[in-house]
Amino acid sequence: MSSAVTVGNFQETEQLQDGQLLARLTLPAQDLQLDWRRFSLVANYLAEYSAYHFEQKDRAENLISSVFYELIERLASSSRREARLDIRFSAFAGWLLFELRSNFPAEELAKLRELLVELQGGDQEAYYRRLLAADLEAGANRRKLGLAMVAHDYQARLSGQLDSGDGSVVLRALVGEQEIRG
pTM of the model: 0.91
CA gap 121, 123 in Å, rounded: 7
User: Domains plus CATH for the chain?
Assistant: 4-177 (3.30.565)
Q: pLDDT category, 144, cuts 50, 70, 90?
A: confident
Q: Residue 140 has what pLDDT?
A: 66
Q: Residue 74: count other Cβ atoms within 10 Å of its Cβ.
A: 24
| pLDDT band of 1, cuts 50, 70, 90 | very low
* Dihedral pair phi/psi, residue 93, rounded to 5°: 50, 45
